[in-house]
Amino acid sequence: MTQSTSQPLSQSERDQSERESSAVASVPTGLFAAGRWTATARRMPVQDPSTGEVLTEVADASPEEAAATLDAAAAAQQDWAATPPRERSEILSRAYRIMVEETDRLALIMTLEMGKPLAEARGEVAYAAEFLRWFAEEAVRIDGGYMTAPAGDSRFLVAREPVGPCLLITPWNFPLAMGTRKIGPALAAGCTSVIKPASHTPLSILALAEVLERAGVPDGVVNVVTTSRSNDVMTPLILDPRSRKLSFTGSTEVGKSLLELAAKTVMRTSMELGGNAPFLVFEDADLEAAVEGALAAKMRNIGQACTAANRILVQDSVAEEFAVRLTRRMAELPLGRGVEDGVVVGPLINAGAVDKVTALVGDAVGRGARLRLGGERIEGPGHFYPATVLTDVPAEAELCSTEVFGPVAAISTFETEDEAVAVANDTPYGLVSYLFTTDLARGLRVSHALEAGMVGLNRGVVSNPAAPFGGVKESGVGREGGFGGIDEFLETKYISVGL
Ligand code: NAP
């Protein structure tokens, strides 16, 4: 699986190729329902975005084949809900430990199917595993209430019960963590589930399912469907009245269509959707910290994160200095296959992603933006686009209103705090905003004025399993992680007790 050359492979290249093949071969590739892995009539390829080569093939379920997953989840629901919380917690803890022990294997699988650098993939395995640890701890803390009615004539008993079988749909950009962020609380709450990973990156979730099996998750409690026909396969499952919850992470466009579908059965939904994060740098900021923060917020996942800094807004007086420093740092980032040592700029997910980024940069330059670094797609095998810096980006440039999803830092300037906040909020999205300032009062004032579910105040990374992750406006509904994460998978039942 190393890039093909006309030269014979060296010993270290052969070793690397062997490591890659055995990591891929360790992943079961069937449909996973009721604790059994079964073959489907069709299979679909999984590609390495850094070479375009096919890594393996996995089940490509039809709607009829996929029905077995919901059947299994529905059949297992009652027993799983009745399983003692401590037991559910211990299963989650075991899965957490296995993931940590197998970090290298899971990270390599992720890098191969998604392209992100191995160091980031290891970070994602740790992040993903932490959701299981966090929700193992939450499983035994589901509480309720008991109170006297104001008139004193009855008692109110308030109980928390699992919502029921859940459908979990995840994107390709964080193939493992977006899965555990849903599976962890679902399992902790006593819900069974069917998970559908993105068709570009099914291997991480298939590997996770096998880890969960080994950790002792009973048959039917977690089921996995992989398919190239997401709409045809998921629509009947969403409309099936046995499904009681839809938790989706992906684009706002698809999220909106799934919300419409879920409305037909008034299904509970959680939506983690797209973003258009502003990154504000005030003239009183620690500029070095702001540059490092921008680098993290921009380049994590090769710019393919919902939390990526999409619009970098810098106060006039420090804008040139900031641009020079950020350009210098971006120019140093090594580009290559994610499996290569030291690489930071891996490939984008597919050729369409490179086309999109190329068009957005072309549009911005055409409207007067200044290209300071990169800006030319890289030909050859794999879907590479270089680290790119644009300054003087006009507000009308398409990339100011579109998720770039690539390694492009787009810098504009502002004069006043009010202007910065107005521009930052001028978007239908509201996932995360970042601001850098050393003025504490300004930091808090602007944090509150920003229309976002999350704010990075002097920080370029906000994600943490113990914190509530989610957006406002068209970036979503609900929160994942934190103390409230489990609530998304629980119903409140009130029992009025006569005396
Ligand atoms: P996507 O195209 O919306 O796909 C997300 C998932 O939905 C995939 O599994 C996809 O399957 C599936 N899907 C697509 N159409 C469907 C349909 N009609 N019915 C049922 N399932 C359907 O998003 P993506 O390109 O994978 O991910 C990138 C997007 O996710 C970005 O907008 C990013 O901002 C967002 N995101 C948000 C968060 C957050 O927490 N807010 C986190 C990560 C990513 P296929 O792969 O088969 O199309």
Rg, the chain, Cα only: 23
Distance 196 CA to ligand 1 centre (A): 10
d(CA 497, CA 475): 41
CA dihedral of 7, 11, 17, 21, whole degrees rounded to 10: 130
Distance 173 CA to ligand 1 centre (A): 9
Q: Quick one: tokens of 325?
A: 């420093």
Residue 14 region, left (φ>0) first, then alpha (ψ -120 to 50), else beta?
Answer: alpha
Q: In this predicted structure, what is the pLDDT of residue 7?
A: 80
The pLDDT tens digits of the residues spanning 127-152 come to 999 999 999 999 999 999 999 999 99
Q: In this predicted structure, what is the pLDDT of residue 6?
A: 62
Ligand 1 atom with the shortest distance to the CA of 275: 34
Provide, for the chain, the percentages of residues in helix, strand and coil under a 3-state DSSP scheme, each rounded to the nearest 5.
40, 20, 35
Contact assessment for residue 484 and residue 160, using Cβ atoms and an 8 Å cutoff: no
Q: Whose CA is nearest to atom 10 of ligand 1?
A: 198
The pLDDT tens digits of the residues spanning 161-204 come to 999 999 999 999 999 999 999 999 999 999 999 999 999 999 99
Which of the residues in the chain have pLDDT under 70?
1-6
* Whether the CB of 345 sits within 6 Å of ligand 1: no
Q: Whose CA is nearest to atom 17 of ligand 1?
A: 231
Ligand 1 atom with the shortest distance to the CA of 229: 47
Amino acid in position 492: T
Q: Which residue's structure tokens are 């930091």?
A: 443
Q: Give the CA angle between residues 481, 75, 234 to the nearest 5°.
A: 60
Ligand 1 atom with the shortest distance to the CA of 307: 34
* Whether the CB of 66 sits within 6 Å of ligand 1: no
d(CA 195, CA 100): 22
d(CA 178, CA 181): 5
Rounded to 10°, the helix 177-189/85-101 angle is 160
* Whether the CB of 431 sits within 6 Å of ligand 1: yes
266 phi/psi in degrees, rounded to 5: 50, 50
To the question of pTM greater than 0.75 for the whole model, the response is: yes
Ligand 1 atom with the shortest distance to the CA of 431: 41
* Whether the CB of 174 sits within 6 Å of ligand 1: yes
Residue 16's nearest CA partner among 340, 493, 280 is 340
Active site residues: 272, 306
Q: In this predicted structure, what is the pLDDT of residue 1?
A: 41
* Whether the CB of 198 sits within 6 Å of ligand 1: yes
* Whether the CB of 134 sits within 6 Å of ligand 1: no
- DSSP at 246: E
Q: Whose CA is nearest to atom 8 of ligand 1?
A: 198
**Pairing of the two strands 222-224 and 154-162:** unpaired
Which of 249, 357, 427 most suits a substitution to test ligand 1, by most atoms within 8 Å of the C-beta? Answer: 249
Which of 169, 178, 226, 401 most suits a substitution to test ligand 1, by most atoms within 8 Å of the C-beta? Answer: 169
Q: Quick one: tokens of 310?
A: 């999409």
Give buried/exposed letters for 259-295 (b at 16+ CB in 10 A, else e). Answer: bebbeeeebbbbbbbbbbbbbbbbeebebeebbbbbb
Which of 254, 270, 402 most suits a substitution to test ligand 1, by most atoms within 8 Å of the C-beta? Answer: 254
